[in-house]
Amino acid sequence: MIKPIELVIFDCDGVLVDSERIAARVQVALGAELGWPLTEDEVVDRFIGRSHAAIREQVAARLGEETATIWSDRFEQLHGEAVDAGLAPVEGLPEALDALTLPMCVASSGSHDKMRHTLGRTGLYERFAGRIYSATEVFRGKPAPDLFLHAARQMGVDPAACVVVEDSQPGVHAARAAGMRAFGYAGGLTPAARLEGHETVVFHDMRKLPALITER
């Protein structure tokens, strides 16, 4: 028997705030600058949805620890500047949040500092204050289920009664591994085909999310 939904867990980047395009652009620029030429598609495959630590490991394996440190520091600087210059909520997201009546929280690969910055910049931080969870709090980041299971525990909800809203392939894999139903938002950088799978509803318009959740 399918449990009624008791909690909606949102990813942050690319789901609440339209930051993945910024991140991809910065990663492409850093690759060109530091010796690892990357296309946007390659950045989506390798980096989008993964934790800062996981991305740093990839850069270190390719370019060495010293360059990985420079890359990480430069990313934080350039990403922060770009966010301040013009970050916005994902299109249709405020309307979706207004229409949802279920408890909600955030579980993101990003750090708490990063989320305070991006959610604060877009006026969304207060909507989730006290219910924001980061991959820095668990041993394994996405695609492992640890972060979503941690969020469910903190919110006091059975994983089977949770749904996850994600925009990345590692994110939907993590939701499935946690035994949660997933909603894959394909209005961003990740193609819809990479989000499809068991217990996953793929959608393109964030305004339709409340109705889709109600139907589940």
Phi/psi of residue 45, each to 5°?
A: -65, -40
Task: Give which of 55, 84, 78 is closest to 67, Cα–Cα.
Answer: 55
Check: CB of residue 157 under 8 Å from CB of residue 131. Answer: no
How far apart (Å, rounded) are the C-alpha atoms in residues 149 and 156? 10
Q: Is 11 a known active-site residue? A: yes
132 sits in which H/E element = strand 132-134
Q: Which of 88, 89, 131 is nearest to 112 (CA)?
A: 131
166 with 176: CB under 8 angstroms? no
Q: Which residues of 4-40 are buried (b: 16+ CB within 10 A; e: fewer)?
A: ebbbbbbbbbbbbbbbbebbbebbbebbeebebebee
Distance CA 199, CA 159 (A): 13
Candidates 11, 13, 146, 167; catalytic one = 11
> So which residues are the catalytic ones?
11
